[in-house]
Every structure is written in structure tokens, then in C-alpha cells.
Amino acid sequence: MKFLRNLNKKEIVGKTCLLRVDLNIAEKEAKNSPRILGILATIEFLTNNGAKVVILSHRGRPKPVKRINPKSKILNPKEFSLKPFAKILSKLLKKPVHFIDFSKNWKEILATINGSKNNIFLLENLRFLAGEEKNDRKLAKQLARLGDFYVNDAFAVSHRNAASVSAITKFLPSYAGLLLEKEIKNLSVVMKNPKRPFVVILGGAKISDKIGLIKKFSAGERRADYFLIGGGIANNFLLAQSLPIGDSIFEESTVNFAKKMLKNKKVILPVDYAIENRKILDIGPNTIKMYSDIIKKAKTIIWNGPMGYFENPKFAKGSGEIAKAIISNKKAFSAIGGGETASIIHNSKFIIHNNIFVSTGGGAMLEYLAGKKLSGIEALK
């Protein structure tokens, strides 16, 4: 894999870079979102070295059209347009960001980029085009004509086979951006011989997303010394023991997996809960104490998934206290990921030190740590 960092000015100046990022973020959270803040350095690196930058991203799941032409009616509901992000990026970068929508055809788009005095462009939501999610070669080729080289700085979508993530690398010299490089370097620390005790903390709503990671860290050199289970996924382990869970969330299809996992002595389950209206909504004080004591002694920590329904402040205590325990342990290397989990860390009042790595990936981080090959990263090789 080639890294953008290793390119020198001569190789960049006067060229146009297609930069794939992940702007799939709620607009009101954008200014503080690590996914946006994390790409600013890459954009600055490119423009400081004399390149034009065309930013590519998707947003949400709009209904796509087959191809762009002024007559094809793009179902363009405002909620999916990337237009507001041109302003947000412009403010953060303190430079103009020129938004390009799909009322133009490809030739006109290219002419706009080449003819403009601006250096930074944001192209409309690529998922308005049917080829994006199909990893379509034609769309990739079309996009590639807009630039001289390609940079992937979208770790969070690198597990998806999309035209602007995978296929495009066939048509242009391609590099990993500064943010993607940081993700790979930090997460591989955990992948190679984690220092012990090694603690994996898992919560959130869906255990099915996390089975690959649990398996990976259940045996071999990377086996975890403790799995601390919380959040909705703990309910599956209660069910597996035929314990009542009232109206709490669970996933029927994973009960057998949970049964098998119960035989693993490394799996630690909550001993008490916060319950309301027959629903388990957070871990209880004794569990917080028990988990915090284990976290204090850890040398490597992975955390994915909140310990409870933290959106309601009444049930945010478990997640908040686990965040506190992790951040207070300055001796451990901690990798934290997942959209919700990352926001808990960023909104906590604690100062995040150098040994804490907050990944911008949710699903991508889980797949990467589970040892799966991510198509977007493979495509760069």
C-alpha cells in the first residue's frame, strides 16, 4: 500500500486529487465530528502542496438514478444532499469549498474543476448514482477522469465495495490518506500481540455485528483475557441461560452462539442492572465497579458499543463510568470505535490522552479487528 504522506511536493503540485471521505454524518454534529475533523489535515496537506482536491462522499441511502444528465430527474431530497457540507468544510478549513451538483454532465464538471480558481471542490452525494453501491467500473472510470490521483481517507466505508472506494483504484494511482493511515497503524497495534491483561468491552444493540470479533479474540495469540459484556447484547447471554429478560431487546438468532460463549470463562456478564418498564436499560452499580476494577489493570483495551440506552441520561451512567475507567488508565493502549461509543468518549469531560485511539469506523473497525480483509484497503494494495 502506498501512503499519501510519502508523496513529495513535486509529485503533487499542479495535480487534481480525488479524495474519498466519509461525510455520512448528522449535519448538526458535523462541526465536532471526528470524521470531519480527521480529514482536514489531509485536505490541507494536498492544497499546501499545490493540488486541487475533489472531495467525494456519500450520505444516507437515497434512491439512485442510472446516470447523470440534466433530464434525468434526480430524486434529490434535501436530507441526502452534501451541499450543506461545503459550507461546514469551508468554515473549518477557512477556505472556499466549491460545491458541484449533478445538474451538470461529466464534461461540464471537469471543465468547472479545471477552470475554477478554487482549489477545493465537493461533489454531490455519490449514492445519487446507481453505480456507486454496485462498485460499477463505468462510474469509477468516469470519476477517475476528474483527477490525476486518488486518495482513500474513508476508513469507515472501507469495508464496502463501492465505485469510489474500490473500483476507482483500477484507474488511478491510489494512496491511503493521513486518516486512513492512522486508523491502520493504531488498530494493528491491537492486532499484533496485545499487551496483557487484554480486555475487550462489548455493548450496544446488536451482537450479530460483533460475533466475528468475539471469535477472533477468543483463541490464539490475540485471545482476550476478559470480555466485559454490557448493553443490549448482554440480554442474549441471559436468554441463553433461560433467565427472564422481560421486554428487553435481544436477537433470537444468536442465542446458540451465546450458549457456546458461556463456556468461555473469559466472558464476564453483568451482575446487576438498571431496569424500567420491564426493560433492562443499563448495567448496575456493582457491575460498574467490577468492570472498572478489571479495566484499571488492563494493558490493552478494545471498546465497542454502549453499556446501556445512554441516549436517555437516566441510563447513561454505565457507559459514562466505563469511559471514565478507560480514560483514567493511562498505562493501557485503548482502541475505541462505533458511532455511538465514539460520541460518548468525545462528549465525556475527560481529556483524551495519547494512549487512547478513537476510531472513525464502526462496522469497518469491527471487521478489521476480526481479521477480515476490507475491500477498500485491499484495493489500495
Positions touching Mg ion (CB under 5 A) are 339-340
Which helix (H) or strand (E) covers residue 363, if one does? helix 363-369
Question: Which residue type sits at 70?
Answer: P
Phi, psi of 84 (to 5 degrees): -60, -25
Contacts to ligand ADP from residues 112-131, by CB under 6 A: none
Single residue of 79, 265, 311, 313 touching ligand ADP by CB under 6 A: 311
**Smallest distance from the beta carbon of 312 to ligand ADP, in angstroms?**
8
Total of residues contacting ligand ADP (CB under 6 A): 21
The number of angstroms, rounded, from the C-alpha of 84 to the middle of its chain's C-alpha atoms is 21
The grid cell for 369 is 479487528
Mark whether 232 is an active-site residue. Answer: no
Q: Are 257 and 209 in contact (CB under 8 A)?
A: no
Q: Which of 377, 367, 309, 305 shows the shortest CA–CA distance to 337?
A: 305
Q: Are 207 and 248 in contact (CB under 8 A)?
A: no
Mark whether 61 is an active-site residue. Answer: no
Contacts to ligand ADP from residues 282-301, by CB under 6 A: none
| Nearest residue relative to Mg ion (C-beta) | 339
**Smallest distance from the beta carbon of 340 to Mg ion, in angstroms?**
5
Q: Are 203 and 70 in contact (CB under 8 A)?
A: no
Q: Are 54 and 17 in contact (CB under 8 A)?
A: yes
Q: Which of 177, 122, 191 shows the shortest CA–CA distance to 357?
A: 191
**By CB under 6 A, which span of 76-84, 170-178, 182-190, 336-344 interacts with ligand ADP?**
336-344
Site string for ligand ADP, 244-283 (x = CB under 6 A): -----x------------------------------xx--
Mark whether 220 is an active-site residue. Answer: no
Single out the catalytic residue among 2, 215, 363, 372: 363
**By CB under 6 A, which span of 28-36, 154-162, 236-244, 334-342 interacts with ligand ADP?**
334-342
Single residue of 62, 147, 270, 305 touching ligand ADP by CB under 6 A: 305
Question: Which of ligand ADP, Mg ion, none has residue 81 at its interface (CB below 5 to 8 Å by kind)?
Answer: none
Residue 309 binding ligand ADP, by CB under 6 A? yes
Mark whether 35 is an active-site residue. Answer: yes
Which helix (H) or strand (E) covers residue 312, if one does? none
Question: Which of ligand ADP, Mg ion, none has residue 304 at its interface (CB below 5 to 8 Å by kind)?
Answer: ligand ADP
Q: Which of 305, 300, 306, 307 shows the shortest CA–CA distance to 326?
A: 300
Sort 117 into a burial class: Cβ within 10 Å, 0-12 / 13-18 / 19+: exposed
- Interface residues toward ligand ADP, by CB under 6 A: 203-206, 231-232, 249, 280-281, 304-306, 308-311, 338-341, 362
